[in-house]
Protein backbone atom coordinates (compact mmCIF):
# COMPACT_ATOMS: atom_id res chain seq x y z
CA UNK A 1 0.00 0.00 0.00
CA UNK A 2 2.86 2.39 0.80
CA UNK A 3 4.34 1.91 -2.66
CA UNK A 4 1.04 2.82 -4.32
CA UNK A 5 0.99 6.05 -2.31
CA UNK A 6 4.65 6.70 -3.16
CA UNK A 7 3.96 6.32 -6.88
CA UNK A 8 0.84 8.44 -6.68
CA UNK A 9 2.96 11.23 -5.19
CA UNK A 10 5.64 10.74 -7.86
CA UNK A 11 2.92 10.72 -10.55
CA UNK A 12 1.70 14.09 -9.30
CA UNK A 13 5.25 15.47 -9.11
CA UNK A 14 5.99 14.45 -12.69
CA UNK A 15 2.89 16.23 -14.00
CA UNK A 16 3.64 19.31 -11.89
CA UNK A 17 7.23 19.54 -13.18
CA UNK A 18 6.10 19.00 -16.77
CA UNK A 19 3.50 21.76 -16.59
CA UNK A 20 6.00 24.09 -14.90
CA UNK A 21 8.63 23.52 -17.62
CA UNK A 22 6.61 23.09 -20.79
CA UNK A 23 4.07 25.63 -19.55
CA UNK A 24 6.32 28.57 -20.39
CA UNK A 25 7.03 27.10 -23.84
CA UNK A 26 3.30 26.71 -24.51
CA UNK A 27 2.68 30.23 -23.22
CA UNK A 28 5.51 31.73 -25.28
CA UNK A 29 4.25 29.83 -28.32
CA UNK A 30 0.75 31.26 -27.90
CA UNK A 31 2.24 34.76 -27.64
CA UNK A 32 4.75 34.24 -30.45
CA UNK A 33 2.95 36.21 -33.17
CA UNK A 34 1.44 38.71 -30.73
CA UNK A 35 4.72 39.78 -29.11
CA UNK A 36 6.96 39.22 -32.14
CA UNK A 37 6.41 42.41 -34.11
CA UNK A 38 8.96 41.44 -36.79
CA UNK A 39 10.99 38.48 -38.00
CA UNK A 40 13.93 39.27 -35.71
CA UNK A 41 11.76 39.30 -32.58
CA UNK A 42 9.95 36.13 -33.59
CA UNK A 43 13.30 34.39 -34.00
CA UNK A 44 14.39 35.69 -30.60
CA UNK A 45 11.24 34.29 -28.98
CA UNK A 46 11.77 30.83 -30.49
CA UNK A 47 15.44 30.85 -29.49
CA UNK A 48 14.60 31.56 -25.84
CA UNK A 49 13.20 28.04 -25.53
CA UNK A 50 14.75 26.39 -28.61
CA UNK A 51 17.54 24.59 -26.69
CA UNK A 52 15.26 23.31 -23.91
CA UNK A 53 11.75 22.62 -25.20
CA UNK A 54 12.37 19.05 -26.34
CA UNK A 55 14.06 18.21 -23.03
CA UNK A 56 10.95 19.43 -21.22
CA UNK A 57 8.94 16.81 -23.11
CA UNK A 58 10.91 14.13 -21.24
CA UNK A 59 8.78 14.87 -18.19
CA UNK A 60 5.59 14.29 -20.18
CA UNK A 61 6.91 10.96 -21.45
CA UNK A 62 8.01 10.04 -17.93
CA UNK A 63 4.59 10.93 -16.49
CA UNK A 64 2.92 8.76 -19.14
CA UNK A 65 5.44 5.98 -18.57
CA UNK A 66 4.92 6.11 -14.81
CA UNK A 67 1.16 5.82 -15.33
CA UNK A 68 1.67 2.84 -17.64
CA UNK A 69 4.06 1.01 -15.33
CA UNK A 70 2.59 1.86 -11.91
CA UNK A 71 -1.13 2.04 -12.76
CA UNK A 72 -1.58 0.06 -16.01
CA UNK A 73 -5.37 -0.30 -15.72
CA UNK A 74 -5.76 3.46 -15.40
CA UNK A 75 -3.39 3.99 -18.33
CA UNK A 76 -5.27 1.57 -20.58
CA UNK A 77 -8.75 2.89 -19.78
CA UNK A 78 -7.71 6.56 -19.82
CA UNK A 79 -6.24 6.24 -23.31
CA UNK A 80 -9.34 4.37 -24.38
CA UNK A 81 -11.92 6.73 -22.85
CA UNK A 82 -10.07 9.95 -23.81
CA UNK A 83 -8.71 8.64 -27.12
CA UNK A 84 -9.91 11.47 -29.37
CA UNK A 85 -8.76 14.23 -27.02
CA UNK A 86 -5.36 12.61 -26.46
CA UNK A 87 -4.90 12.01 -30.20
CA UNK A 88 -5.57 15.71 -30.89
CA UNK A 89 -3.10 16.56 -28.13
CA UNK A 90 -0.46 14.30 -29.66
CA UNK A 91 -0.91 15.78 -33.14
CA UNK A 92 -0.69 19.32 -31.75
CA UNK A 93 2.56 18.53 -29.91
CA UNK A 94 4.03 16.95 -33.05
CA UNK A 95 3.11 19.89 -35.29
CA UNK A 96 4.43 22.36 -32.71
CA UNK A 97 7.84 20.65 -32.67
CA UNK A 98 7.95 20.45 -36.46
CA UNK A 99 7.04 24.14 -36.70
CA UNK A 100 10.05 25.23 -34.65
CA UNK A 101 12.37 23.42 -37.05
CA UNK A 102 10.63 24.07 -40.39
CA UNK A 103 9.80 27.79 -40.21
CA UNK A 104 13.40 28.77 -40.93
CA UNK A 105 13.97 26.35 -43.80
CA UNK A 106 12.78 28.83 -46.46
CA UNK A 107 13.22 32.59 -46.65
CA UNK A 108 9.60 33.15 -47.61
CA UNK A 109 7.13 35.30 -45.67
CA UNK A 110 4.10 33.11 -46.43
CA UNK A 111 6.03 29.97 -45.44
CA UNK A 112 7.15 31.48 -42.14
CA UNK A 113 3.71 32.98 -41.49
CA UNK A 114 2.05 29.59 -41.89
CA UNK A 115 4.43 27.94 -39.42
CA UNK A 116 4.11 30.87 -37.01
CA UNK A 117 0.35 30.33 -37.02
CA UNK A 118 0.94 26.62 -36.44
CA UNK A 119 3.15 27.41 -33.44
CA UNK A 120 0.42 29.60 -31.94
CA UNK A 121 -2.45 27.16 -32.56
CA UNK A 122 -0.47 24.07 -31.54
CA UNK A 123 0.62 25.76 -28.32
CA UNK A 124 -2.94 26.79 -27.49
CA UNK A 125 -4.51 23.38 -28.14
CA UNK A 126 -2.29 21.35 -25.74
CA UNK A 127 -2.79 23.92 -22.98
CA UNK A 128 -6.56 23.79 -23.45
CA UNK A 129 -6.75 20.01 -23.88
CA UNK A 130 -4.58 19.29 -20.84
CA UNK A 131 -6.86 21.51 -18.79
CA UNK A 132 -10.04 19.94 -20.17
CA UNK A 133 -8.66 16.44 -19.52
CA UNK A 134 -7.69 17.19 -15.92
CA UNK A 135 -10.94 19.08 -15.34
CA UNK A 136 -12.90 16.00 -16.38
CA UNK A 137 -10.71 13.74 -14.27
CA UNK A 138 -11.37 15.97 -11.26
CA UNK A 139 -15.07 15.97 -12.10
CA UNK A 140 -15.21 12.23 -12.73
CA UNK A 141 -15.98 10.34 -15.91
CA UNK A 142 -19.29 8.51 -16.50
CA UNK A 143 -17.90 4.99 -16.01
CA UNK A 144 -19.71 1.81 -15.02
CA UNK A 145 -19.33 -1.93 -15.56
CA UNK A 146 -19.84 -1.42 -19.31
CA UNK A 147 -17.05 1.17 -19.56
CA UNK A 148 -17.15 4.83 -20.54
CA UNK A 149 -20.65 6.16 -21.21
CA UNK A 150 -19.67 9.56 -22.60
CA UNK A 151 -18.17 10.95 -25.80
CA UNK A 152 -15.55 13.49 -26.85
CA UNK A 153 -18.11 16.30 -26.74
CA UNK A 154 -19.16 15.24 -23.25
CA UNK A 155 -15.69 16.35 -22.14
CA UNK A 156 -16.46 19.89 -23.32
CA UNK A 157 -18.66 20.59 -20.30
CA UNK A 158 -18.56 23.92 -18.43
CA UNK A 159 -16.21 22.73 -15.68
CA UNK A 160 -13.87 21.03 -18.17
CA UNK A 161 -13.71 24.20 -20.28
CA UNK A 162 -13.19 26.32 -17.16
CA UNK A 163 -10.21 24.16 -16.18
CA UNK A 164 -8.96 24.43 -19.75
CA UNK A 165 -9.16 28.22 -19.53
CA UNK A 166 -7.28 28.09 -16.20
CA UNK A 167 -4.43 26.15 -17.82
CA UNK A 168 -4.35 28.47 -20.85
CA UNK A 169 -4.05 31.62 -18.74
CA UNK A 170 -1.59 30.04 -16.30
CA UNK A 171 0.66 29.23 -19.24
CA UNK A 172 0.12 32.59 -20.96
CA UNK A 173 1.28 34.49 -17.86
CA UNK A 174 4.08 31.97 -17.30
CA UNK A 175 5.28 32.31 -20.89
CA UNK A 176 5.11 36.11 -20.88
CA UNK A 177 7.21 36.27 -17.72
CA UNK A 178 9.71 33.81 -19.17
CA UNK A 179 10.08 35.90 -22.31
CA UNK A 180 10.51 39.04 -20.25
CA UNK A 181 13.27 37.35 -18.24
CA UNK A 182 15.04 35.87 -21.29
CA UNK A 183 14.98 38.90 -23.61
CA UNK A 184 15.93 42.54 -23.34
CA UNK A 185 14.84 45.95 -24.53
CA UNK A 186 11.41 46.65 -25.93
CA UNK A 187 10.48 42.97 -26.35
CA UNK A 188 11.16 42.28 -22.67
CA UNK A 189 9.11 45.32 -21.63
CA UNK A 190 6.16 44.32 -23.83
CA UNK A 191 6.26 40.75 -22.49
CA UNK A 192 6.14 42.04 -18.91
CA UNK A 193 3.28 44.42 -19.77
CA UNK A 194 1.42 41.49 -21.36
CA UNK A 195 1.85 39.41 -18.20
CA UNK A 196 0.40 42.28 -16.17
CA UNK A 197 -2.60 42.57 -18.49
CA UNK A 198 -3.27 38.83 -18.41
CA UNK A 199 -2.86 38.38 -14.65
CA UNK A 200 -6.30 39.80 -13.62
CA UNK A 201 -8.01 37.37 -16.02
CA UNK A 202 -6.01 34.52 -14.48
CA UNK A 203 -7.02 35.61 -10.99
CA UNK A 204 -10.73 35.69 -11.91
CA UNK A 205 -10.58 32.29 -13.63
CA UNK A 206 -8.69 30.76 -10.69
CA UNK A 207 -11.32 32.09 -8.27
CA UNK A 208 -14.11 30.73 -10.50
CA UNK A 209 -12.39 27.35 -10.57
CA UNK A 210 -12.18 27.19 -6.77
CA UNK A 211 -15.86 28.10 -6.45
CA UNK A 212 -17.06 25.75 -9.22
CA UNK A 213 -14.97 22.82 -7.96
CA UNK A 214 -17.07 22.47 -4.80
CA UNK A 215 -20.37 21.40 -6.45
CA UNK A 216 -18.78 19.89 -9.58
CA UNK A 217 -16.09 17.67 -8.05
CA UNK A 218 -15.11 15.79 -4.92
CA UNK A 219 -11.80 17.65 -4.62
CA UNK A 220 -12.78 19.33 -1.36
CA UNK A 221 -13.37 16.02 0.46
CA UNK A 222 -9.77 15.41 1.52
CA UNK A 223 -9.35 19.04 2.57
CA UNK A 224 -12.48 19.00 4.73
CA UNK A 225 -11.40 15.71 6.30
CA UNK A 226 -7.85 16.96 6.94
CA UNK A 227 -7.89 20.77 7.32
CA UNK A 228 -4.08 20.91 7.51
CA UNK A 229 -4.05 20.14 3.77
CA UNK A 230 -5.65 23.54 3.13
CA UNK A 231 -2.10 24.87 3.32
CA UNK A 232 -1.64 23.79 -0.30
CA UNK A 233 -4.41 25.86 -1.94
CA UNK A 234 -3.65 28.79 0.37
CA UNK A 235 0.00 28.74 -0.69
CA UNK A 236 -1.11 28.49 -4.34
CA UNK A 237 -3.21 31.63 -3.91
CA UNK A 238 -0.33 33.40 -2.16
CA UNK A 239 2.05 32.45 -5.00
CA UNK A 240 -0.46 33.69 -7.59
CA UNK A 241 -0.80 37.04 -5.82
CA UNK A 242 2.97 37.34 -5.42
CA UNK A 243 3.36 37.20 -9.22
CA UNK A 244 1.67 40.60 -9.47
CA UNK A 245 3.51 41.94 -6.43
CA UNK A 246 6.88 41.17 -8.00
CA UNK A 247 5.94 42.49 -11.47
CA UNK A 248 4.87 45.76 -9.83
CA UNK A 249 8.44 46.01 -8.52
CA UNK A 250 9.87 45.06 -11.95
CA UNK A 251 11.46 41.98 -10.37
CA UNK A 252 10.94 39.69 -13.35
CA UNK A 253 12.99 36.74 -12.10
CA UNK A 254 11.15 36.65 -8.78
CA UNK A 255 7.84 36.91 -10.59
CA UNK A 256 8.74 34.05 -12.93
CA UNK A 257 9.81 31.96 -9.92
CA UNK A 258 6.45 32.73 -8.28
CA UNK A 259 4.72 31.60 -11.48
CA UNK A 260 6.66 28.31 -11.35
CA UNK A 261 5.59 27.80 -7.75
CA UNK A 262 1.98 28.68 -8.62
CA UNK A 263 1.78 26.00 -11.31
CA UNK A 264 3.35 23.35 -9.08
CA UNK A 265 0.99 24.18 -6.21
CA UNK A 266 -2.09 24.27 -8.45
CA UNK A 267 -1.28 20.76 -9.69
CA UNK A 268 -0.50 19.62 -6.14
CA UNK A 269 -3.84 21.01 -4.94
CA UNK A 270 -5.74 19.09 -7.60
CA UNK A 271 -3.82 15.84 -7.14
CA UNK A 272 -4.18 15.98 -3.34
CA UNK A 273 -7.93 16.47 -3.66
CA UNK A 274 -8.08 13.54 -6.10
CA UNK A 275 -6.34 11.02 -3.80
CA UNK A 276 -6.70 8.03 -3.75
CA UNK A 277 -8.58 8.22 -7.05
CA UNK A 278 -6.89 8.42 -10.41
CA UNK A 279 -10.12 8.59 -12.42
CA UNK A 280 -13.27 8.86 -10.31
CA UNK A 281 -16.56 7.56 -11.67
CA UNK A 282 -19.34 10.13 -11.75
CA UNK A 283 -21.94 7.33 -11.94
CA UNK A 284 -20.89 5.08 -9.06
CA UNK A 285 -17.79 5.32 -6.83
CA UNK A 286 -17.51 1.53 -7.00
CA UNK A 287 -16.28 1.90 -10.60
CA UNK A 288 -13.66 4.56 -9.83
CA UNK A 289 -10.07 3.78 -10.74
CA UNK A 290 -7.88 4.23 -7.67
CA UNK A 291 -4.22 3.73 -6.87
CA UNK A 292 -5.19 0.46 -5.18
CA UNK A 293 -7.44 -1.25 -7.72
CA UNK A 294 -5.42 -0.26 -10.80
CA UNK A 295 -1.81 -0.59 -9.65
CA UNK A 296 0.91 -3.01 -10.68
CA UNK A 297 2.13 -5.73 -8.35
CA UNK A 298 4.24 -4.86 -5.32
CA UNK A 299 7.24 -6.52 -6.99
CA UNK A 300 6.89 -4.28 -10.06
CA UNK A 301 6.50 -1.18 -7.91
CA UNK A 302 9.61 -2.08 -5.91
CA UNK A 303 11.70 -2.45 -9.09
CA UNK A 304 10.32 0.82 -10.43
CA UNK A 305 11.17 2.59 -7.18
CA UNK A 306 14.81 1.50 -7.42
CA UNK A 307 14.97 2.60 -11.07
CA UNK A 308 13.40 5.97 -10.22
CA UNK A 309 15.85 6.55 -7.36
CA UNK A 310 18.72 6.05 -9.81
CA UNK A 311 17.53 7.86 -12.92
CA UNK A 312 15.30 10.72 -11.72
CA UNK A 313 18.24 12.50 -10.00
CA UNK A 314 20.25 12.09 -13.22
CA UNK A 315 17.47 13.71 -15.26
CA UNK A 316 17.17 16.54 -12.73
CA UNK A 317 20.94 17.12 -12.79
CA UNK A 318 20.89 17.19 -16.60
CA UNK A 319 18.05 19.72 -16.70
CA UNK A 320 19.80 21.95 -14.15
CA UNK A 321 22.96 21.83 -16.27
CA UNK A 322 21.09 22.66 -19.50
CA UNK A 323 19.29 25.64 -18.00
CA UNK A 324 22.55 26.86 -16.48
CA UNK A 325 24.34 26.65 -19.84
CA UNK A 326 21.54 28.56 -21.62
CA UNK A 327 20.80 31.01 -18.80
CA UNK A 328 21.87 34.12 -20.73
CA UNK A 329 19.35 36.48 -22.33
CA UNK A 330 18.70 36.06 -26.05
CA UNK A 331 19.30 39.19 -28.11
CA UNK A 332 18.35 40.19 -31.66
CA UNK A 333 21.98 40.73 -32.65
CA UNK A 334 22.97 37.29 -31.43
CA UNK A 335 20.12 35.49 -33.21
CA UNK A 336 20.37 37.33 -36.54
CA UNK A 337 24.11 36.80 -36.62
CA UNK A 338 23.94 33.05 -35.93
CA UNK A 339 23.03 30.90 -38.95
CA UNK A 340 22.40 27.92 -36.64
CA UNK A 341 19.78 29.75 -34.58
CA UNK A 342 16.11 28.85 -35.10
* pLDDT tens profile 4-28: 999 999 999 999 999 999 999 999 9
pTM given for the model: 0.94
Q: What is the pLDDT of residues 37-73, one digit of tens each?
A: 888 899 999 999 988 888 898 899 999 999 999 999 9
pLDDT on residue 312 = 87
pLDDT score at 68 = 92
Query: Does residue 309 sit in helix, strand or coil?
Result: helix
Indicate if the pLDDT at residue 204 is higher than 80: yes
Q: What is the pLDDT of residue 81?
A: 86
Which ranges of 82-184 would DSSP assign to H, the alpha helix? 83-102, 109-139, 158-182
Residue 337 banded pLDDT, cuts 50, 70, 90: low
Nearest to 7 by CA among 58, 62, 57: 62
Q: Could you tell me which of 148, 164, 144 has the C-alpha nearest to residue 156?
A: 164
Those residues whose C-beta lies under 8 Å from the C-beta of residue 233, and which sit 6 or more positions away, are: 210, 223, 265, 269
Task: Quote the CA–CA distance of 160 and 103 in Å, as a whole number.
Answer: 33
Q: Is the dihedral of CA 160, 163, 165, 167 positive or negative?
A: negative
CA dihedral 156, 160, 165, 170 (to 10 degrees): -140
- Look at residue 256 in the predicted model and tell me its pLDDT: 97
Return the percentage of the chain with pLDDT > 90, whole number.
Answer: 70
List the alpha helices (DSSP H) in 36-108.
39-49, 53-70, 72-81, 83-102
Do residues 138 and 282 lie in contact, with contact meaning Cβ atoms separated by under 8 Å?
A: no
Q: Among 170, 137, 171, 169, which residue's Cα sits nearest to residue 155?
A: 137
Burial class (CB in 10 A: 0-12, 13-18, 19+), 46: buried
pLDDT value at residue 268 = 96
Specify the pLDDT at position 334. 67
Selected residue with higher pLDDT from 107 and 160:
160
Contact 319, 57 (CB under 8 A): no
pLDDT, tens digit (0-9, with 9 covering 90-100), for 225-257: 999 999 999 999 999 999 999 999 999 999 999
Residue 207 has pLDDT above 90, yes or no: yes
Q: Provide the b/e sequence for 301-337 (b: ≥16 CB within 10 Å).
A: beebeeebeeeeeeeeeebeeeeeeeeeebbbeebee
Confidence of residue 340 (pLDDT cuts 50, 70, 90): low
Tell me the average pLDDT of the chain: 91
User: What is the C-alpha separation between 213 and 158, in angstroms, rounded?
Assistant: 11
Buried b / exposed e along 262-294 (16+ C-beta atoms within 10 A)? bbbbbbbbbbbbbbebbbbbbeeeebbbbbeeb
For residues 298-315, give the mean pLDDT.
91
pLDDT score recorded for residue 109: 85
**Over residues 176-205, mean pLDDT:** 95
Task: Report the candidate in 262, 257, 253 with the shortest Cα–Cα distance to residue 234.
Answer: 262
Q: What is the DSSP letter of 228?
A: G
Give dist(CA 260, CA 306) in Å, integer.
28
Amino acid sequence: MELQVTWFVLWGVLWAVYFMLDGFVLGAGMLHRYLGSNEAERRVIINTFGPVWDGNEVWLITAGGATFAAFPTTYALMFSYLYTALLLLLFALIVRGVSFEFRGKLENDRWKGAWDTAIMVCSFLPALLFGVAFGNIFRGLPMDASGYQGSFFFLLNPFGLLTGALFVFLFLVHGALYLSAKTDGDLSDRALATANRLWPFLLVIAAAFLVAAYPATGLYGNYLDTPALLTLPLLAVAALVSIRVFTARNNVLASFAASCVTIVLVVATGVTGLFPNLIPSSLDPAYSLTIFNSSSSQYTLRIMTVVALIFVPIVIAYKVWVYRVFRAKVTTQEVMGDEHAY
